[in-house]
Amino acid sequence: MKISRRDFIKVSIAGAASTVLVGCQPNQRYVELEPYVVPPEEAVAGQATWYATTCGMTPAGNGIIVRVMNGRAVKIEGNPEHPLNRGKLDALGQAGLQLLYHPDRLHGPVVQETPGRREFKPLHWNEAVNILAENVKRAGAGLAIWAGLTTSGHLVDLFKRFAKATDAPAPVFYDLYAALHSYDALASACGGALPTYDIRRADLVFAFGDFLGSGPNPVYYGVQFGAFRGQALGKRGYLAQFEPRMSITGAVADRWVPVKPGHEALAAGAMARIIAEEGFGGAERAARAGELAPEVDVAAVAEACDLEAEALVKLARAFAEAANPVAIPGGAPAGADNGVEATKAVQILNAIAGVGPLAPGVIPPGITPTTPSTFAEAQALIEKMQNGEVQTLLVYGANPVYELPEAAGFRQALNKVETVVSFSPIIDETAAWAHMVLPERTYLEGWGYRVVTANTGRTIISSRQPVVVPFYQDEATGPAYSTGDVLLTIARGIPDAIAALPWTDEVAYLKQMVGALPAGAYGGSDPDTRWARYLQHGGWWPAEDAEPAASIMELAPVKVKAAASQGEANEYPLYLHVYTPVMLGDGRGASLPWLQGSPDPMTTMTWRSWVEINPQTAHNMGIKDGDILKVTSPYGSIEAPAYVYPAIRPDTVAIPAGQGHLDSGRYAKNRGANVIDLLGATTDATGENLAWSNVRVKVERTGETINLPIFEDKKGAQEHLHF
Amino acid sequence: MSRPTRVWITVIGLVVLLVFIGPFIFGVLASVPNYEQPIVEFSHKRHVQNAGIDCLYCHSGATRSPVSGIPSVEKCMGCHEHVLSGEAPIVKLQEYWENGEPISWTRVYQLPRYVHYPHHVHVSAGLNCETCHGNVGEMDIVTPAQIPNMGWCIRCHQGEENAVELMDCLNCHY
């Protein structure tokens, strides 16, 4: 084929002409600028505004500051002025922005005729509040309130006042944090307050739970741990971690002591006895140990704990001879059937060393801490529901359908309640079974305060204020009500409640509360100034930053036994170790893709559940990474892939909580398995607390295998392991 | 050359040009900015020359913020609730105000994301708005007085006493 020059020019001209014709479109306005219609008073274009408020992702009460640009929250950081977390923050706190912008948030109230069908219809806010008011009025003493531990202090007070005014049972504050952090067992073993320790100047710490990753106050302890490791004159504290599965605390510890599950307290008791018998740490400590540590056969205990007796002696000597040793109770031992005794056994080590938990701060009048209920109290309410004594149930900040073991019977009890109302901003498992949902604003859009959970020796009231205007203000559903305002509005229609809840709105309540506080660290001669400074600095705390006072506990000798297992050893050969993962917390992190996608610090797993199994056990059972396992306990079974993990005892499997949601938004739904399905509703010896850490399981291969979503390369990692 | 061959060559040529050169020409044409504003009649000249309004009255961020800012609808209405309230462009402004809608103004100056140009630093150093933006008081529709590229920044900075510090990369790229 030959192309002449003329042909080529003709073709080119035709092509260029058609291209120009195609390209000729009207010019586009390529960048637009949208200024405010009415700018906020303090807004300066191009400059961020930082608002101080309180994290609502965990019950700790960490102070946060939120960067707001042009009316949008864009970044969360720890509040450097806040005496609890001192500018630091955990992954859950950082990811809170995604709750604000979650695509599955409800825009307004919804109702459904048949609970569980998830066929919700939108409702105007005014109509929803009216319907709720009628139901509450009709229910009278048949009203019940179930709330979670992240609930703001002002709502705790309003709920309590409302329940009292209507002769309803006292509200229950119980969620998965309350269960898996064993608040009540720890508090009842430690004189009624959750024990918190000052480890900044300790030279040795024995920890019996994961206090840096998944305890009640990981950020507080993280700050303390920094000081513990980097003390004056290059001194570095020594950490020994007693747990059957290496947690993130175990990973940073100098020594990981893999005690047999349920036997941690026995090890603590044996060390106390060794101090007495060997006279370690001087006459005073040895004498105290002699008074408090009952006689035990150290060799037998060491065998039961699966430890060398010599190792126990060495550890006991290190503890006794340290200048400032501390033993931190918590974790799995506190969640066993003998949780209270196990915690006391650990406290005996502290008593020998002459240290105690920090004294709780004095809470000023009018301030309400969010104190968790016991599992027994939660069960009592479930029983009332089952007996048909509850006509209207309000569920706020908790997700009991997901968080409670099946055997607790909450889901079934919901069928006996005439009206179930949820305040969840996203349809979660409990909201799916509700008749009506009045979505609460997220903590970044709402008012409130938290008395911090850690007893740091002084009272810390952490303020919560809206950092942005409520995200959803749809015309169809009208201006959104906060839950506080819903309660105050309803109270106006109930003669008995109006006197107990006389405020016009929740801000009036909070202003009155803050105005009555004594002058704190930031002063303020009049209530308005105190209010402004309370919001500006992120809360109220006393001016003096004196050394926190520790209170040495009065203890009696504790004869502790190994925890009794739930499930027979011959049928269920492995111990189950349940833990709250660093990323997902009690499961609310599963709704947020940043947290789902952030690798677990120990396994680098993302986006699903897994079963950690020792390489030796896995080898014996022919299990490899990614094999789907069926884990069965006496109470139920779940399926999840195996993660062969060298830092776990061969007789234990560990499964993180947090996944296995049926609802809770698109990122959480139908992903992984809920480990709570393996737990029963058994209480500990006191009959008050859920015994969640002494369940036994069996593991079977299903035959399926998946590729693990991990960020590490495990190729060749097991070549150095010898069985 | 036979007729079918020529037809084929023409078709192939067209396709080649459309695929490879068409997007380029389209891109050039589409990127020619159009500075028409949503309220077409809005004139900087009238505001500056006739009304004698200072730049900083509307662009009040220039002395205290990296960006000078665009006035809110509320600020426009602060005057126009009474001033020329019956005129067509002001009626349009009032509609925005009554509907609670922001006005989507067309951006005239746009720097790449990797450059920081803090207005307040330059204004505090004594620069007039006109130095960079030209005589806006003479313009009905504002168009760029110059292309704000790196060479243009450097020309100013290198003439200053503390040129060494002012020429540091991290002054603008951080």
Residue-by-residue DSSP string for A388-434: T--SEEEEES--HHHHS-GGG-HHHHHTT-SEEEE--SB--TTGGG-
Q: Compute the nearest-CA separation of B103 from chain A (Å).
A: 6
* Tens-digit pLDDT profile for residues A386-431: 999 999 999 999 999 999 999 999 999 999 999 999 999 999 999 9
* Tens-digit pLDDT profile for residues B60-90: 999 999 999 999 999 999 999 888 878 889 9
Say what the pLDDT of residue B32 is: 66
Q: Please check whether residue A343 is in contact with residue A333, taking contact to mean a CB–CB distance below 8 angstroms.
A: yes
Nearest to B69 among A2, A38, A46 (CB): A46
Say what the pLDDT of residue A146 is: 97
Mean pLDDT of all residues in A326-346: 92
Say what the pLDDT of residue A502 is: 93
Give the closest residue to A638 by CA, choosing from A628, A646, A647. Answer: A628
* Tens-digit pLDDT profile for residues A444-461: 999 999 999 888 888 899
Q: Do B17 and A3 touch (CB under 8 A)?
A: no
Domains, chain A = 110-179+373-540 (3.40.50.740), 185-353 (3.40.228.10), 574-705 (2.40.40.20)
pLDDT reading at A22 higher than 60: no
B121 touching chain A per CB within 8 A: no
Q: Please check whether residue A94 is in contact with residue A76, taking contact to mean a CB–CB distance below 8 angstroms.
A: yes
**Please, which pLDDT band fits residue A28 given cuts at 50, 70 and 90?**
very low
Give the closest residue to A146 by CA, choosing from A403, A441, A393. Answer: A393
For residue A441, the 8-state DSSP code is: P
Q: Compute the nearest-CA separation of A13 from chain B (Å).
A: 9
Phi, psi of A63 (to 5 degrees): -80, 135
Q: Is B12 helix (H, G, I), strand (E, B) or coil?
A: helix
Say what the pLDDT of residue A723 is: 45
% of chain A beyond a pLDDT of 90: 75
Mean pLDDT of all residues in A260-281: 94
Q: Do B10 and A35 touch (CB under 8 A)?
A: no
From residue A89, alpha-carbon distances to A48, A219, B82 in Å are 20, 6, 51
Mean pLDDT of all residues in A697-710: 94
Domain ranges, ordered by start, for chain B: 44-70+105-172
**Please, which pLDDT band fits residue A27 given cuts at 50, 70 and 90?**
very low
Q: Is B101 helix (H, G, I), strand (E, B) or coil?
A: coil
Mean pLDDT of all residues in A633-640: 96
Structure tokens at A105: 């948030």
| Nearest-by-CA chain A residue for B5 | A1
d(CA A621, CA A701): 9
> What is the strand order of the sheet A143-147 is part of?
A121-122, A110-111, A436-437, A419-422, A392-396, A143-147, A172-173
ipTM above 0.90, yes or no: no
Query: Which residue out of B72, B98, B122, B142 would a mutagenesis test of the A interface target, given it has the greatest number of A Cβ atoms within 10 Å?
Result: B72
Give the closest residue to A561 by CA, choosing from A332, A336, A265, A300. Answer: A265
Phi-psi region of A565 (alpha: psi -120 to 50; beta: other; left: phi over 0): beta
B78 touching chain A per CB within 8 A: no
| Nearest-by-CA chain A residue for B97 | A37
* Tens-digit pLDDT profile for residues A564-609: 899 999 999 999 999 999 999 999 999 999 999 999 999 999 999 9
Question: Which residues of B fall within a CB distance of 8 Å from A19?
Answer: 17-18, 21-22, 25-26
Mean pLDDT of all residues in A221-225: 95
* Tens-digit pLDDT profile for residues B94-110: 999 999 999 999 989 88
Say what the pLDDT of residue B98 is: 93
Say what the pLDDT of residue A432 is: 97
Q: How high is the mean pLDDT of chain A?
A: 91
Give the closest residue to A377 by CA, choosing from A189, A183, A566. Answer: A183
| Nearest-by-CA chain A residue for B116 | A46
Give the closest residue to A290 by CA, choosing from A302, A298, A278. Answer: A278
pLDDT reading at A25 higher than 50: no
Question: Which residues of B fall within a CB distance of 8 Å from A29?
Answer: 33-34, 36, 106
Q: Compute the nearest-CA separation of A6 from chain B (Å).
A: 11
Q: Do B10 and A10 touch (CB under 8 A)?
A: yes
Phi, psi of A31 (to 5 degrees): -140, 135
